[in-house]
């Protein structure tokens, strides 16, 4: 059973997932890193050479494997929710958190990043708006929780997520400090 992050490219899945795993002392894996290791090249190169549908086929296999077998924190790629079968597997096998970011916020974070093939277009902001419109309902349908990632820092978001996981019974609650002893 994993804590699984979904959300737009640049919403913080990899960064927040890694930090959360560190805080909880759990193993962390990013499905994109597993895909790149399996392909032996970057996702960007594979997209350019083989096209998106071939990438989605590999992604589906890797998500099936990790959602069944990984015990810890799992960061997915932004398109992990596109296929119905992936949405089903992630929702049924893990505890899914949607990092919900406005297109403006993610644009600020990833505009200089050339490693994200879907954003290498003339108007990346328009592309992000379109991705948000089409995917927001899919991320919501897959997730057990939605966390808005507008202003808070990564560290604050990690704290908010830990509180949310405790409240929903996904983590053992922190031990209460002992009640003060009555003075004798």
Ligand X SMILES: O=C(O)C1=C[C@@H](OP(=O)(O)O)[C@@H](O)[C@H](O)C1
Interface residues with ligand ADP (CB under 6 A)?
Answer: 7, 9-15, 75, 109-110, 149, 152-154, 157
Among ligand ADP, ligand X, Mg ion, none, the one that 149 touches (CB under a kind-dependent 5 to 8 A) is ligand ADP
Q: Quick count: other Cβ atoms within 10 Å of Cβ 81?
A: 26
Instruction: Please state the residue numbers annotated as binding site for ATP.
Output: 10-15, 116
Question: Distance from CA of residue 110 to its chain's centroid?
Answer: 15
Structure tokens belonging to residue 118: 């879907």
Instruction: Please state the residue numbers annotated as binding site for substrate.
Output: 32, 56, 78, 135
Question: Distance between CA 79 and CA 169 in Å, rounded?
Answer: 28
CB burial string 29-52: b at 16+ within 10 A, e below:
bbbbebbbeebeeebeebbeeeee
Using rule CB under 6 A, residue 103 touches ligand X: no
Closest C-alpha among 26, 12, 8, 11 to residue 165: 26
Closer to ligand ADP by Cβ: residue 58 or 97:
97
Instruction: Please state the residue numbers annotated as binding site.
Output: 10-15, 32, 56, 78, 116, 135
Stretch binding Mg ion (CB under 5 A), from 10-18, 84-92, 136-144, 176-184: 10-18
Among ligand X, ligand ADP, Mg ion, none, the one that 109 touches (CB under a kind-dependent 5 to 8 A) is ligand ADP
Number of chain positions touching ligand X (CB under 6 A) = 11
Cα maximum dimension of the chain: 78
Which member of 11, 14, 86, 101 binds Mg ion (CB under 5 A)? Answer: 14
Which member of 116, 138, 139, 143 binds ligand X (CB under 6 A)? Answer: 116
Under 8 Å between Cβ of 82 and 138: yes
Residues engaged in binding ligand X (CB under 6 A): 9, 13-14, 32, 43, 77-79, 116-118
């Amino acid at each position: 059973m994993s804590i699984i992050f979904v959300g737009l490219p640049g919403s913080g899945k990899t960064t927040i997932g890694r930090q959360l795993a560190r805080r909880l002392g759990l193993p962390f894996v990013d499905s994109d890193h597993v895909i790149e290791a399996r392909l032996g090249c970057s996702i960007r190169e594979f997209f350019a050479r083989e096209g998106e549908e071939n990438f989605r086929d590999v992604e589906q296999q890797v998500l099936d494997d990790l959602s069944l077998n990984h015990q810890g924190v799992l960061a997915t790629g932004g398109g992990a929710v596109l296929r119905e079968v992936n949405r089903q597997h992630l929702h049924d096998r893990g505890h899914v958190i949607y990092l919900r970011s406005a297109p403006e916020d993610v644009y600020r974070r990833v505009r200089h990043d050339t490693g994200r093939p879907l954003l290498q277009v003339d108007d990346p902001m328009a592309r992000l708006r379109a991705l948000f419109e089409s995917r927001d309902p899919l991320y919501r349908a897959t997730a057990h929780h939605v966390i808005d990632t507008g202003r808070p820092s990564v560290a604050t978001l990690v704290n908010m997520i830990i509180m949310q996981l405790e409240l929903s019974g996904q983590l053992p609650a922190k031990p209460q400090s002992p009640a003060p002893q009555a003075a004798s």
